[in-house]
Amino acid sequence: MNPIIHDYLTDIRRRLSHLGLRERDAVLEEIRLHLESEVARLHSEDTSLSKDEAALQATNSFGDPEEIGVAYGAPGGVINRTTGEMLLEVALLTTRAAGRGIRGTLKWTGIILAIILGISLILVLAALVFADNVIDTFQDDIRENTPRPLYDYNGEWTGYPEAHTETTSDSFQIRDGMRDFTISFDIRPDASTAGSGCAQIMLTSPGGSVVYDSGTDCDADSRTLTFSEKGTWTVQYTYVAFQGQVDVDAYYFEDVSRQS
């Protein structure tokens, strides 16, 4: 079917919606036959006329679809639709409106999501910056509170002839960048042996002060002390026929504030 005629008939069909389906189809078929006959006649009378031009003339001669609809009983200028068609149209409009609603919702959802994403991104970046500071802070804290080996002394002597008798000294340095240090002394005479001898440990500060002296009473001793004075610290061990164990461990802590 010629597209011009097709569109024209479609227009008329819309205006005949007040008719029953069978009656409407019959009317449209009759009009279609008329138009095709007219196109054929016009074309035969003037072969230079294209099919479209002929179709246009034929439809123009046939009349305005709206007037034709009215002539078939449609209310003048108002399309009389069947309830089904009205419901269909309402459904279509509703669907379109719903479609617009969904599209609108999707659009705004997208915008909101984009905003949320943007804010989240900013927050994440801020959190990273903050976290970096936090990590730095913790790093400092960790550095500041991590004990680092400074000095270590271990000795174990059993019965004679291994029992230890001598006086020795060690030293270690507390330098800038070292906040303080903790030193533990652990003197454990062999309790299973009578007359296990003595072990005396003395810690002397850089200024010459003896800050720890385990004494000469030859008893076991365990002590942990903390100092911060910079300089050379000296540890003196005096053994007199000592049987047992001696452990001395020192750890220092960084002075982060000075380093930063």
* 61 touching other proteins, by CB under 8 A: yes
Quick one: which of 25, 46, 67, 156 contacts other proteins (CB under 8 A)? 67
Q: Return the closest-CA partner of residue 241 out of 189, 203, 169, 202.
A: 189
Count how many Cα atoms sit within 13 Å of the Cα of residue 246 in the half-sphere of its side chain.
23
Query: Is the CB of 7 or the CB of 36 nearer to other proteins?
Result: 36
Of 29-37, 95-103, 222-230, 242-250, the segment contacting other proteins by CB under 8 A is 29-37
Peptide bond into 206 cis (omega under 30): no
- H-helix or E-strand spanning residue 244: strand 244-254
Tokens for 188? Answer: 């454990």
* 89 touching other proteins, by CB under 8 A: no
Work out how close the CB of 92 gets to other proteins at its nearest, in angstroms, rounded to a whole number.
28
* 68 touching other proteins, by CB under 8 A: yes
Query: Is the CB of 55 or the CB of 183 nearer to other proteins?
Result: 55
* 92 touching other proteins, by CB under 8 A: no
Of 35-43, 110-118, 181-189, 235-243, the segment contacting other proteins by CB under 8 A is 35-43
Of 63-71, 107-115, 147-155, 182-190, the segment contacting other proteins by CB under 8 A is 63-71
Instruction: Supply angle C-alpha 113, 118, 123, rounded to 5.
Output: 120
Instruction: Supply angle C-alpha 114, 120, 125, rounded to 5.
Output: 130
Burial class (CB in 10 A: 0-12, 13-18, 19+), 183: buried
Tokens for 59? Answer: 């439809």
Query: Is the CB of 72 or the CB of 151 nearer to other proteins?
Result: 72
Of 58-66, 120-128, 182-190, 216-224, the segment contacting other proteins by CB under 8 A is 58-66
Q: Which residues bind other proteins (CB under 8 A)?
A: 26-27, 30-31, 33-34, 36-38, 61-64, 67-68, 71-73
